[in-house]
Amino acid sequence: MDPVVGNIILIICFVVGSGLIVLEAFMPGFGAAGISGLILEIVGIVFTGRMYGPRWAVIATLLVILLVGLAVFLSYRSIRNGRLSRSPLVLKDTEAVVDTENPPAESPWAGQEGTVATPLRPAGFIEIGGTRLTAATSGEFLEKGAAVVVVGTEGDHLVVRRK
């Protein structure tokens, strides 16, 4: 094999493999990215051993472990304190603190009646006086055209029940 092509294959295996292993930390699910990354890293180490000998294969193994470990550490630190900690993709396992001294302002829509614009299963859209709003029920499904009354707010949507 041509040494230039061999080196390009090695670089691709190590870079893409490391990226897939780090990506696995952020993706819920089966683990295909991590397994693929691990396979690419092993292929890169085997190619290194065949092209340059076992000493370089061991050095490549140690470098891969060091770089992947550093990437995982930096990602974890960013999730805890950095830019990723403010991302909506990172789930927080803390409960919301309720401010009893300053309760949230009641929605101007509370108590108003409207109709279901799209089926609520349990979330969808309602219409009040020609204004389309996001809404959800407490779990029941409502068909389009059903009459509803707004009973409160939850986050960025209204909570409704059948009239």
- Is 95 part of a structural domain of the chain? no
With a cut of 70, say whether residue 132 has pLDDT above it: yes
Q: Are residues 11 and 62 in the same domain?
A: yes
Answer for the pair 22, 69: CB distance below 8 angstroms, yes or no: no
Q: Are residues 74 and 18 in the same domain?
A: yes
Alpha-carbon dihedral 43, 44, 47, 52, rounded to 10 degrees: -150
Answer for the pair 71, 34: CB distance below 8 angstroms, yes or no: no
User: Which of the pair, 56 or 27, is modelled with greater confidence?
Assistant: 56
User: Which of the pair, 95 or 23, is modelled with greater confidence?
Assistant: 23
Residue 143: CATH number of its domain: 2.40.50.140
Report how many domains make up the chain: 2
Instruction: Supply the pTM of this predicted model.
Output: 0.46
On the CB side of 101, CA atoms within 13 Å amount to: 0
Q: Are residues 71 and 138 in the same domain?
A: no
Q: Cis peptide leading into 103, omega within 30 of 0?
A: no
With a cut of 90, say whether residue 85 has pLDDT above it: no
pLDDT in tens, 8-41: 888 898 889 888 887 877 766 667 888 898 899 8
Domain range holding 117?
113-162
Question: According to the model, what pLDDT value does residue 71 have?
Answer: 74
